[in-house]
Amino acid sequence: MLLPVTQNFTKPLPSSITLVAYGISFYLLAYLAQKLPLSIVYASWAGLGVFSVTLLSYFFYKQSLNWQVILGLSLIVLGVIIVNLFKTPTNF
C-alpha cells in the first residue's frame, strides 16, 4: 500500500515508514511461526494480506470491486476460517 507513495524509494519519509512497516511485518510473521503451525500462520497471513490490500486499494486508490473480486475475497476468508477451524493441535 505504501510502495506507490514512495515513488521508487525516492521520498525519504514514506520510504522509511515502508521499510519499518515491512520489518515489523516480517518480525510478527516469524514470531507467530514459532508459536503456531506454519501452515496456519502462512495461510492466514497471506489471506489477510490479500484481503487488506484489496480493501485499502478500494478506499485509497479508488480501485473497483466487482462481483468477481468480492467472490474471490469471500472464498479467501472462508478458506482461512476453514483452515483455522480444522487445524490439528501440535505440541512445540
Which ranges of 36-91 does DSSP label H, i.e. alpha helix? 38-60, 67-85
63 and 85 in one domain? yes
Q: What is the pLDDT of residues 34-74, one digit of tens each?
A: 988 888 898 889 998 999 999 999 999 999 999 999 999 99
Read off the pTM.
Answer: 0.73
CA dist., res. 28 & res. 82, Å (int): 22
Quote the pLDDT of residue 90.
Answer: 61
Confidence class for position 15, pLDDT limits 50, 70, 90: very high
CA-based end-to-end distance of the chain:
35
60 and 91 in one domain? yes
CA dist., res. 89 & res. 35, Å (int): 12
Question: Does residue 92 carry a pLDDT above 60?
Answer: no
CA dist., res. 80 & res. 41, Å (int): 10
13 and 45 in one domain? no
DSSP one-letter code for 61: S
